Amino acid sequence: MLVWVNSVLVSSILLNLLLLGASRLIRLVALQGAIISILPLLIRSDGITIRAVVLSLGTMALKGIVFPRLLFRAVKQANVRRERQPYIGYSSSMVIGITVLAASFWMGTRFPFPGRPVSDLVFPAALFSILTGLFLIVARRKALTQVLGFLVMENGIYAFGVAVVGEIPFLVELGVLMDVFVAVFVMGIALQQINRAFDHIDADQMDSLKG
């Protein structure tokens, strides 16, 4: 199973790099969420359980289908165009991403795990996803991209939690997923309301609202 776990984590890392160099992100974020959703099926030493199957299917349905549909509907109703002029250009974002990836691998060799992780790639891949999501939030202008950055961060937290702390109570895991679902649902509504009020969703043009 280790080779499959590593394949999932490497795929997540590559998708993070693509996210930093792309202007259309919804499908990439959905693909990343769908890929990491199978982690609970791969890390169990006692075989595939009903709990792991339910968690994987629930996560894949939310991250790979429900969230993208909500965001695509928000994009259509808000008539959002692709982000052409982010605060930090796409080429520079890729360079920063590669640097952050190297730093994540370095930190992974020094992070004190409570036990041996299922793979040496767990910490670097999870930390890189969290930092990539944070970067998208602060380096892009569109509110939609910032919502997607939040989802990328959550993907990293999910991968770390499932792969390192595999004994989290089932209800807690489902509760976190439902919290994310509510957050994305509310953000989609907020995007529509922002677009109706200001005729755009550029976060930098909302500075005039400051007192």
36-80 pLDDT tens trace: 989 888 876 667 778 788 888 888 888 888 888 888 887 777 776
Separation between Cα atoms, residue 124 and residue 106, nearest integer Å = 8
pLDDT higher than threshold 60 for residue 100: yes
Give residue 131's pLDDT: 95
The residue type at 132: T
Give residue 9's pLDDT: 93
Q: What is the rounded average pLDDT of the residues 9-32?
A: 92
Counting residues of the chain whose pLDDT is more than 70, the rounded percentage is 74
pTM as predicted: 0.82
| Cα-trace Rg, the chain | 18
The end-to-end CA distance of the chain, in Å, is 56
Separation between Cα atoms, residue 137 and residue 129, nearest integer Å = 12
pLDDT higher than threshold 80 for residue 17: yes
pLDDT tens digit sequence for 112-130: 777 777 888 989 999 999 9
